[in-house]
Chain A
């Protein structure tokens, strides 16, 4: 512990050279991958000598750049500021005052894990602020740096955490939730496969002809795909073919979803710590995020009938951060069991007596608009049917499936959309097959916007957009009178609330 002092300028761990090198290589390949086949073309004489020359040249060059980057990357803590110097040609000096630091997160991708270092990311909030990431330090130094930053921060006593009671945060760390592999399987199985299926179909059809060339080269894999692509007309124009396609598509979608979920959420753990809730996850890239309760802007619960039957749900937690880090502000807990969901909610939102609970529903215009949009979609599908020369019977059959399904979706969406004020909270219901519930403490609103098209104005309908420090929450197609009421209520709350939004 005593070895890590941050009062003097210090460099990253020497392994940072490797990380820099890896990053540079990745960037190079990413921007020039188009030219890679050119290198292997047969037109060049002495091909192998040439390749060797290029490879060595690049290796040495990148190594030098990585080394220089490493040498000129220095950081320290100076008084009430975190100071970072980097760059040779473009010198960059960054100083972040402690009170602006929102959170310090760790990240490890596969390269980091191999050389045994951690990336430290310092997040700040506000419109024009900077994000800082220190690419490679040892785990020990990372933790020291974090505690040092937090110590200086608490000395500065700028954050107004005092108003938020420290519920349940015991002195020792407590692991409250860990996702097992089996639960990961459940999660990926119960995802919305219909949506990903449509994507797969769209991609397959738009790249169909290019796929043909590739598919021809495969020896054994996916004979079925080969069949489908080569006999596209026959398959598509028969109803049986479509059914087979549907099943195969959904199977593919399950597999894709499985890989996505495992890559991102593998071994997801939630630990209660003194400074907040720590979430760590990921297979190749480990991410550690610390959620501060006061920083949370709103949460979104997602569940669907399959998930409900298995007793799990997803909780998306949106926290404040600067505009650049849109993705990183979202922490997604998948496969959360219902009791834990309740616990999280009571942790995030102060329990208060529900004295006033008024429910609003969207105007009939909402249904009208959905019908209009679905009608356009159905027309498009019928156009496709027309151009693919289906028989009348098949077209009729397809429509007799499609139409009731659309009507069902509209009906579900209508019934699931509501806006409810519950004390300090605004609860927004949404969803078609799945049920999406957004819970926002509405005094955290940054600004509020009412939007009406000319047609909506004539019909006395308005949409409200609530802008928070972590994205927009929409209340679509309210009765105008309700919209005015809601807007007034929220603005009054914001103006009279003494609690800070962060």
Chain B
């Protein structure tokens, strides 16, 4: 929904801008301007499509013994972390994330790649739920 509105706004504003320039310049300059703007627009569309495709690839799955996370468009990765190996769990909120009510959940193990599993763009509520779920399990151990 947000995306759609954004797109409509963009198309509208670009049309207005182009119209302004056409009225200002001779036809040749405006043609160039128009094609450049059009190019930018298509790049923007492409980027949006890429972001969406990327987003659609991101999935996570929690069973009662492990958590798995899938991501990546060209190199598709699926990471599985068993609960028994988790050292600690962290929830981070960046300024933008806080504004949107989102959070990043990071799961650390003793593996030396540092942070082993990082799920961003979770609703804060959801992130906290997952954290308590896993923490409870870790206590049972």
Contact = CB atoms under 8 A, between A and B. Distances in A.
Contacts of A450: 77-78
A457 B78 CA distance: 13
A128 B76 CA distance: 29
A226 interface: no
B81 interface: yes
Given A126-B87, A127-B87, A451-B76, A469 B112 contact: yes
Interface in A437-483: 445-454, 457, 467-472
A491 interface: yes
A326 interface: yes
A323 interface: yes
Contact of A447 (B73, B74, B85): B85
Interface string A108-136: 00000000000000000111000000000
B74 A453 contact: yes
Interface in A483-497: 487, 491, 494-495, 497
Contact of A501 (B72, B73, B85, B116): B85
A258 B76 CA distance: 44
Interface stretch (B29-37, B103-111, B120-128): B103-111
Nearest to B79: A449
Interface in B75-116: 75-85, 87, 108-114, 116
A320 interface: yes
A102 B82 CA distance: 23
A451 B79 CA distance: 9
B27 to A, nearest CB: 44
A452 B75 contact: yes
Contacts, number: 80
B54 interface: no
B65 interface: yes
A448 B79 contact: yes
Contact of A467 (B65, B75, B78, B109): B109
A447 B111 contact: yes
A452 B79 CA distance: 12
Contacts of B66: 491, 495
Contacts of B134: none
Interface string B57-78: 0000000011000001111111
Nearest to B108: A127
Contacts of A445: 82, 85
A451 B75 contact: yes
Given A450-B78, A452-B76, A467 B84 contact: no
Contacts of A471: 112
A455 to B, nearest CB: 9
A127 B82 contact: no
A494 B112 contact: no
Interface in A361-417: none
A467 B113 contact: yes
Interface residues of B, number: 26
Nearest to A323: B112
A447 B109 contact: yes
Contact of B74 (A125, A454, A469): A454
A320 B85 CA distance: 14
Interface residues of A, number: 31
A448 B80 contact: yes
Contacts of B113: 467, 472
Given A127-B108, A471-B112, A447 B80 contact: yes
A447 B87 contact: no
Interface string A302-320: 0000000000000000001
B82 A494 contact: yes
A169 to B, nearest CB: 25
B51 to A, nearest CB: 17
Contacts of B109: 446-447, 467
B76 A494 contact: no
Interface in A309-365: 320, 322-323, 326
B64 to A, nearest CB: 9
A469 B108 CA distance: 12
A284 B76 CA distance: 48
Contacts of A454: 73-74, 76
A446 B85 contact: yes
Nearest to A325: B112
- Interface core residue of B72, B81, B109, B111 (most chain A CB under 10 Å): B111
A472 to B, nearest CB: 7
A494 B110 CA distance: 14
Given A126-B87, A127-B87, A495-B66, A449 B110 contact: no
A123 to B, nearest CB: 13
Contacts of A457: 76
Nearest to B81: A447
Nearest to A448: B80
Given A127-B87, A127-B108, A446-B109, A495 B78 contact: no
Given A127-B87, A445-B85, A501-B110, A491 B80 contact: yes
Interface of A: 125-127, 320, 322-323, 326, 445-454, 457, 467-472, 487, 491, 494-495, 497, 501-502
23 contacts: A127-B110, A445-B85, A446-B109, A446-B111, A446-B116, A447-B79, A447-B81, A447-B109, A451-B76, A453-B75, A453-B76, A467-B111, A467-B113, A469-B110, A469-B111, A470-B112, A472-B113, A494-B82, A494-B84, A495-B66, A495-B82, A497-B84, A501-B110
Interface of B: 65-66, 72-85, 87, 108-114, 116-117
Given A446-B116, A467-B111, 12 more contacts: A126-B87, A445-B82, A448-B80, A449-B77, A449-B80, A453-B74, A453-B75, A469-B110, A469-B112, A494-B82, A495-B82, A502-B110
